[in-house]
Amino acid sequence: MERWKQYGALGALFAVALAAGLWGFRATGGALPWAKRSARALQRGGSEGGGSLVDLGRGIVVAGPIRKGGLVVEFLGLVVLLLVVGVALYVYAGRRPGGAA
């Protein structure tokens, strides 16, 4: 394909994406609300990740919205379901011809 067509198409793609970006920048209030949240998430990760890798005293912490929303039973059910599916897949993979286990 001729080079001017390639770069013309690329330029058009960039123009559309940049126009969308400019609109998004304005529509989100200068992107600051999301940016602040993102920055907080990164900083929180840094501060909370600074402890020991294994902390038996901390126990298992279920996220607040699940705990406070009364969804702990449903959450545990989902965890058990995923565990059962995982074990079943492991056993299946080991028994099928050519399986690794």
Partner 1 sequence: MAHIHLGEGSFPLWALALWTLVGAGLIGVVTYRIRKGGIETQQIALAGIGAAASFAVFQLNLPVWGGIHMNLTGLVGILAGPALGALIALVVNVFSAALGHGAVGLLGANTLVNASEAVVAYYAFRTLVRMDWDTFPASAGAATVGLSTGAVLMGVIIVVSGVNGSALPRADLTVAVAGLVGLNLGVAVVEGLLTGFVVQFLASVRPDLLALADRGDDAAGVTA
Contact positions vs partner 1 (CB under 8 A): 1, 3, 6-7, 9-10, 13-14, 16-18, 20-28, 30-32, 34-39, 41-42, 44-46, 48-49, 63-66, 69, 71, 74-75, 78, 82
The nearer residue to partner 1, 16 or 84, going by C-beta atoms, is 16
Asked if residue 31 lies in contact with residue 25, where contact means CB atoms within 8 angstroms, the answer is: yes
Least distance between partner 1 and beta carbon 56 (Å): 18
Shortest Cβ 41–partner 1 spacing (Å): 5
Maximum pairwise Cα distance, the chain: 66
Q: How many CA atoms lie within 13 A of 14 on its CB side?
A: 6
28 vs 94, beta carbon nearer partner 1: 28
Tokens of residue 98, six digits = 């050519």
Minimum distance of partner 1 from residue 4's CB (angstroms): 11
Cβ atoms of 88 and 81 within 8 Å: the answer is no
- We find the least distance from the C-beta atom of residue 57 to partner 1, in angstroms, to be 19
H or E element: which one contains 42? Answer: helix 32-48
